[in-house]
Structure 1
Amino acid sequence: MTPFFNKAFILETTAPLLINMTEHQCFENIAFNASEADDEYHNCTFIGCDFSNRTILNTVFEKCTFRTCNLALSKWKNALREVTFTDCKLTGVDLTEISKFSGDLTFVNSLLDYCNLTGTKLRRSRFSDCQIYEGYFDEADLSLSVFERCNLERSSFFKANLEKADFSSAFNFSINPDTCRIKKTIFSEYGLRGLVAHLDIEIK
């Protein structure tokens, strides 16, 4: 007996997957709606756009720049590769579910209070002149990352990988060497205070 095949089903399942990709475009003052987003953005610039209180699903941003954007309380479940955030508001941003293929992120003069990067793998990321009050970097891989002139007051690095990271100009941080990987991590002489804050001792 000749086996029965549903030709319509075969055609549907073997059809190529169509990906909506946007390249080399600039978006200004747009309220971003995740349901209307393209699948991938490459070398795009977002200026003054509103991503606040949104969940970003399955959208890849690669070599993109965000300037003066509002990303407060947004949640990202996608890939961010070689992305730069400049003068942005990222208060309460949640990056805990971004793709494992994300990395090389840059944050410049941005507000990241209460950000959640727990468990993320963001090697070689750079934070410059950022306010990061009570940020959560627990169990994150931040090896080879740089915290340049950042205020890290009350931020948590429990079980984080900070190997070869640079904290030499960061301030107000508290890092427990017993619970973090800090091999060849760079600290200034002044910043060494942040490594003994958990001991409840006075340094004069």
Structure 2
Amino acid sequence: MSIKFIENSLFKSKNYSDRGLALGEYESCNFNECSFVSANLSSFTFSECYFENCDFSMALLKNTTFRDVRFKNCKLLGLRFDECNPFLLSFSFEESILDFSSFYGLKLKKTQFSSCKLEQVDFTETDLRNSIFDKCELSGAVFENTILENSDLRTAQNFTIDPELNRIRNAKFSATNIAGLLDRYNIIIE
């Protein structure tokens, strides 16, 4: 199967759930209102692409490459980002839903999550140094052996992070969400 190289293209209101997107390398492309529900995106490359109002729920990402990719107002339910190609992996998420997704063991330094819903997301052994969780919902998110040094969680809510199991040196928290660091102690904060 030949791999296409596509650059500077706009894909609008397309459904790639039934008929797949052509296997290829996509550079500086914009995807708007596209559906990739349960699509097989394995071995695709997306560089400097922008996805807005797209649905990737349950898509397959085995060896998928994301370099400087932005997701805005996207649905990314149950995705295994941990199966992506880790080389130069970088993306940002804005106003997106990533519930039940996994970032297990990835190096995601300086990743930005802005106004995202991240319920039940697995961040186990993830390197999130210098990352930002701005106005994010983190109910049930798993942080275990996670590196959160210098990360900003001041406006994040409903997280549970055990300081004894995670590296949080110089991470920023607010007085209103500090309880998420003390859950293991079963204390009452009023």
How much has 1:84 moved relative to structure 2? 0.6
Match of 2:121 in 1: 135
Q: Equivalent residues in 2 for 1:46-125 (5 A)?
A: 46-77=31-62, 78-125=64-111
By how many angstroms is 1:98 displaced?
Answer: 0.9
After superposition, the Cα gap between the structure-2 partners of 1:186 and 1:37, relative to the gap in structure 1 and judged at 3 Å, is same
**Structure 1: distance between partners of 2:112 and 2:89:** 10
Q: Which residue of 1 aligns with 2:154?
A: 168
Identity of aligned residues (%): 32
Gaps of 5+ in 2: none
| Structure 2 SS opposite 1:147 | strand
Between the two proteins, the alignment pairs up a number of residues equal to 187
Give, in whole Å, the separation in 2 of the partners of 1:168 and 1:98. Answer: 29
Q: CA offset at residue 189 of structure 1?
A: 1.8
Q: CA RMSD in A?
A: 1.6
* 2:169 aligns with one of 151, 161, 183: 183
In 2: Cα distance, 1:36 partner to 1:87 partner: 20
Task: List alignment gaps of at least 5 residues for structure 1.
Answer: 1-17
Task: Choose which of 155, 163, 182 in structure 2 pairs with 1:196.
Answer: 182
From 132, 140, 144, the equivalent of 1:154 is 140
1:26 maps to which residue?
10
Deviation at 1:55, TM superposition (A): 2.8
The 5 Å alignment of 1:8-27 reads 19-27=3-11
Query: Paired residue for 2:27, among 42, 46, 50?
Result: 42
Larger helix percent: 1
Q: TM-score, normalised by structure 2?
A: 0.92
Per the alignment, in what secondary structure is the counterpart of residue 190 of structure 1?
coil
Secondary structure of 2:58's counterpart equals: coil
